[in-house]
Amino acid sequence: MGKHSRRKPSYLPKVAAGAAPLALLLAGPATSLAAQTDPPTPLPLDHKREGTLDRGIGVTSEGDTSVLRGFLNIAERNVYSKDLGGSKVFADVRRSASETVETRDGVTVRGDKVGALAASKTTEVVTQGQRNTVKLAPYGSAVAGNETKLERSGARLTEAVLDPRTGTPALITEDGRGIGASEGTYQAFRPLPGFGVINETDQRAVGELHRALRLDGGFSGDLGGLLEAGRSSGHALDLGNFAAIGTTSAQHGGGRFKGVLPLAVSSGTGFGQKHVLGGTVGPATGLVTTEQDASLARHGSALTGSGANTSSGDLGVGDVASAHGTTATSSRGVLPTGDPAQAGHLRQSGTLDLTVLGQRKHTGVIAGALPLELKRS
């Protein structure tokens, strides 16, 4: 006991001295362990999010009819960005959805009409788009984006009517549906301020179907449909103060049919396209446009067709001189027919306008066949 009591207060056994660092590491402050195992890590991108919700509903009265209207709009936007020294990156993502509803209900009691009406209309639209941007200071930028849109619509009507004067009842029903879709893209690359390349595209398609029936002592009705599709594109090259060139093109086509019970049936189809090329080189400017359309329709046993082709051009050099010319060809016809003038008709026209130092000169001619015609325009 006395031997141990003579130890100095600063004495530490060798075993304890060797174990002290490990014990301190394992039993260190909790804050030190947290700092080593869970360090604050910044997000790779800055994120901003916003959204909106808008809705409403109301009831009004229009004569004998009660009308209920309602809508719902939802939108969301997310923006991601990052500053990488001299470069910046952005991504803008947008989504939205909307719906509108309208219903009509009413009962009519008059001396000439007793009836009940129920009708509804709905429209739904959903869109989504994204736009990505990269900026390389002090140079240029690159942008790429796209947007998709879907639409759906519907309408329905049912009406029962009785004429008290004659005692004749009537029942009318109508139903219609529609759907559409479109998609667009956008790209732009500008390596230097004032210089760049731009491209845009757009595709779309629409379809509709409707029917109607009527019972009023007899039977009548119709069934019809429509299908259309189209596309367009644009391209541009910008060379600053030296030159700029752009071109666009668009095509569309569609078909339709309609049957009126019990016998009449009609159908048709059509196609069209348009192309434009223009630009500037120094003081000179030019623009060329071409457009073609064609359609074919059938009603019963009669077949009707038409077509047209139009071209125009403009060329100018500052205020010194300019020229504008057009040419157009059109044709139409109906078969079968006993009238030669209706069986087919062709027409050709052209004009040219020249302006030199403020002096303008115009020439033009129109030529046709079946019947034959020739005159100045």
User: What's the chain's length in residues?
Assistant: 377
Beta-carbon contacts of 159 under 8 Å, excluding residues fewer than 6 positions away, are: 115, 116, 117, 118, 119, 171, 172, 173
Q: Are 155 and 149 in contact (CB under 8 A)?
A: no
Of the candidates 301, 326, 330, the one whose C-alpha atom is nearest the C-alpha of residue 313 is 326
Reading the chain (377 residues) residue by residue, the pLDDT tens digits are: 444 444 433 333 333 333 333 333 333 343 333 334 444 444 577 899 999 999 999 999 988 899 999 999 999 999 999 887 778 899 999 999 999 999 999 998 888 888 999 999 999 999 999 999 998 877 789 999 999 999 999 999 999 998 888 888 899 999 999 999 999 999 999 888 888 999 999 999 999 999 999 888 777 888 899 999 999 999 999 988 888 999 999 999 998 878 776 566 788 899 999 999 999 998 899 999 999 999 998 877 788 899 999 999 999 998 889 999 999 999 888 877 767 666 778 889 999 999 998 889 999 888 877 655 556 66
- Identify the burial level of 196 via C-beta atoms within 10 angstroms of its C-beta, where 0-12 means exposed, 13-18 middle and 19 or more buried: buried
Classify 312 as helix, strand or coil: strand
d(CA 296, CA 306) in angstroms, rounded, equals 7
pLDDT digits (tens, 9 = 90+) for 66-87: 999 999 999 999 999 988 777 8
